[in-house]
Amino acid sequence: MQLQKYNRPILFYGTSVLVPWLCWFIWAWLSHSQWQGNPAVFFCGSVLGLTGLCAPFIIAMILILPDKEMKQEFVSATFRLKGIRPVFWTLTIFLFPSSILAAQAISLLFGYSLSQFRIVEHLSFTAGIFPAWFLLILAPILEEFGWHTYGVSIR
């Protein structure tokens, strides 16, 4: 595809930076306000955080989907798995958990307990109403779809 189709970089980059920061600053302000203990504010803050995370992807889709050729390119690049070597599938699946286990193993050298390898029953960290694992999986996917579709042309 010709790069002339991607002709609104100021709109894309401006809103893709402004909207998340706006959402996250509002959430930061709410989290330190007099309403911080209110469950409705907690829920709204979680939604604001997720909205900020999704904003570049949503903005890219708003700019891509009305154009038939850009939409076809997006679908083709997203679902065409041909040419991906097995080594990259293996790295994609095993690199993240392997790096966590390696970091935990290294921490043993600094006196940390073996109990860190135990599977826990309850989450030790959340981002509002969302568990950390959900955001750890969702964030890079949305980042790739947001920034590497319209922001950095697919081809």
User: How does pLDDT run across 97-108, given as a tens digit for each residue?
Assistant: 899 899 999 999
| Domain locations along the chain | 3-151
Q: Residue with structure tokens 């609104």?
A: 8
Q: pTM for this one?
A: 0.73
SS3 155: coil
According to DSSP, the residues that pair with 127 across neighbouring strands are 130
Would you say residue 155 has pLDDT above 60?
no
Would you say residue 153 has pLDDT above 80?
no
pLDDT of residue 61: 93
Q: Residue with structure tokens 């390696």?
A: 102
Structure tokens at 98: 């392997």
Strands 130-131 and 126-127: antiparallel
Would you say residue 123 has pLDDT above 80?
no
pLDDT of residue 80: 79
In angstroms, the CA 105 to CA 119 distance is 15
pLDDT band at 125 (very low <50, low <70, confident <90, very high): low
Around Cβ 152, how many Cβ atoms within 10 Å? Answer: 9
Greatest Cα pair distance, the chain, in angstroms, is 58
